[in-house]
Amino acid sequence: MEKRTILAIIITFFIILLWGVIQSKYFPPAPPNPPTKEEMKPPLASAPESKAPEKTAGSQESSVSEGKPAPVTKVIPKKEVSIETQNYWAVVTSEGGTLKQFRLKKYLDRVEESPTVLKLINLVGSLLGKPEKVQKKPEPVSLVNTTEKEGLPLGMVLAGSTPGLLEGNWEVDKDQLTLEKPGDKGEVSFTKELGNGLKLSKRYGFSSDSDVVDLELVVQNASSNEIPLQPGIDWIGRVDLRKLAEEENKDFGLKYAYLKNQKVEIKDLAMSGSSGCTPGCESTKTAIDTFQISDKGNIQWFAFAGEFFTALLIPPSSKEGFTLTVRGDEKNFVKAELYSAPLVVSPGQTIKIPYRIYLGPKKVEFLKELGADADKLIDFGFFTIVAKPLLWLLNLTHHATRNFGIDIIILSILLKVIFLPLTQISLKSMKEMQKVQPEMARLKEMYKNDKARIQQEVMLLYKRRKINPLSGCLPMLIQIPVFIALYNVLQNTFEMRHAPFMLWILDLSAKDPIYITPLIMGATMVIQQKMTPTAADPAQAKLFMLMPIMFTFLFLSLPSGLVLYWLVTNVLSIAHQYYMTKKT
């Protein structure tokens, strides 16, 4: 085979491989349930498997009060408690003692384009048939995206209890809580008494300089009977497909994940097509696929997350383990319930179950501080071994440059220097291949009716001239892991979110809004093709010339930081090739 044929095959394989990575990230099939999982029944209708007596908290309540006058229901007014710390504003409500609002002070939900950039975006959008983009004022990132009517997160749940048992207003001990000084801590407590002598409490602990909220469930048995129950907490969130489609916002609420036995189980609920496609092909999906799953055992955490922010529920360590149930409906709501092991509360006994709730950015250092292997929520994919050094290098240079765009340019130059010996081998191979083109043409003419003989003679020619046709593709093959690793760094590293470069590029983790850099990158590939020795076969030459077009369309919706890396690499390759040509 000629070098051009082999090169074309390898480049085609590269495109297929790259598309496979993007497809696996944005179009993954629904993962099959592991053997240990079972289909979940609605939590309020049936409890998870239990070794405790068959009576539930609801049935126990009925048995205790049987034959006694119905207790007078205490009217508790609705109250909302506002909490402000250095990092966030939060609101907890007496309706179930749930979390109504959690807004981060230090992070905004979008970048604000200048009027000039906005005009350019709308000009390009009009050419592509897109509606005019209206500038929206950036707002603090909110990690509670449901309403009271839809259901609020961090409610207390009792497996198998009577529906509505824990609904209604709980008594609360505060009206507001302000923690402005470093090290300040505060607590908000909610209590509810059930008619069977069971008293439930939820104690929220807040810190002025931390995104971690402590949530302690307290169960007190004031009756003279043992009460079996299985308490837990829930998280309710919306998968906002509309926001993803209209704004390409991937901050929060697109997937759920949990860690069990050191293995992360993750499901992408949005399966967005907004990257790796041509303009105008953004996802039109309006509803998630309904699902119900249940799992139990050594569950270390559950997360409802996006690419850059997460709500992370960390239960206490337990030999008996926890039970997790997750379900999603056609209205795009996801409800997860995390139950402790079944237990029996003796008369006069008090049981406390402490949870930690992290609500903040998916920063590696923040997640590591949490313990429980929370940093495993960030996944750089198959080439993690390559991605982590790249991220380390980018952060290292960032201390000096304060611009991740410049850091990517520096990274491109360093990698080009590292791969220089391989590039030299590639250029030498290309020169040798160019020299044998006339002889290869003669062999094709001589054995034009015998393709097997042509292949045999060509291989003998390569052997006599000591030419390795694959060596010309070596630099590109080596760059594949780097390319994919850098893509995952840009998509999964919080530092890249809203990281500006210059002019109209205000977010290196998002696509170029006016597609200038992908077009320039495509032009550099055309220049490279012109500088590369042409193939003897016209069909191969035409196929080769299609590559810049294919790559340009592929890069149109990839992160601008990745396009910048490939563009700089192309420019350096052109300069190197020009120098070598002039030198010889």
Residue intervals in the chain for CATH 2.70.98.90: 31-379
Tell me what pLDDT residue 470 has: 62
- pTM exceeds cut of 0.95: no
- Sign for the CA dihedral angle at 127, 132, 137, 142 comes to negative
Tell me what pLDDT residue 45 has: 35
Alpha carbon of 495 to those of 365, 406, 441: distances in Å? Answer: 11, 14, 54
Q: What is the CATH number of domain 31-379?
A: 2.70.98.90
**Which residue has better confidence, 373 or 448?**
373
Task: List, for residues 64-106, the tens digit of each pLDDT value.
Answer: 333 333 444 567 889 999 999 999 999 999 999 999 999 999 9
49/294 Cα distance (integer angstroms): 11
- The one-letter code for the residue type at 563 is V
- For residue 500, give both structure tokens: 């500006």
- For residue 126, give both structure tokens: 């009009």
**Which residue has better confidence, 300 or 319?**
300
Work out the end-to-end distance of the chain between its first and last CA atoms, rounded to an integer number of angstroms: 27
* Residue-wise DSSP of 389-445: HHHHHHHHHHHHH--HHHHHHHHHHHHHHHTHHHHHHHHHHHHHHHHTHHHHHHHHH
Task: List, for residues 17-26, the tens digit of each pLDDT value.
Answer: 555 545 444 4
Tell me what pLDDT residue 39 has: 38
Band of residue 577 on the pLDDT scale cut at 50, 70, 90? confident
253/241 Cα distance (integer angstroms): 9
Tell me what pLDDT residue 33 has: 43
CA torsion, ordered 142, 144, 150, 154, to nearest 10 deg: -170
**54: buried, middle or exposed (CB in 10 Å: 19+, 13-18, 0-12)?**
exposed
Given the DSSP bridges, would you call strands 80-84 and 176-178 parallel, antiparallel or unpaired? parallel
**171: buried, middle or exposed (CB in 10 Å: 19+, 13-18, 0-12)?**
middle
Q: Which helix (H) or strand (E) holds 175?
A: none
314/154 Cα distance (integer angstroms): 12
- For residue 56, give both structure tokens: 């539930």
Task: List, for residues 475-522, the tens digit of each pLDDT value.
Answer: 667 778 888 888 888 888 898 999 999 889 999 999 998 999 999 999
How many CB atoms are closer than 10 A to CB 201?
Answer: 20
Using left for φ > 0, alpha for ψ between -120 and 50, and beta otherwise, residue 160 falls in left
- For residue 558, give both structure tokens: 């990839």
**Cα-to-chain-centroid distance, residue 498:** 15
- Stretch 265-288: mean pLDDT: 63
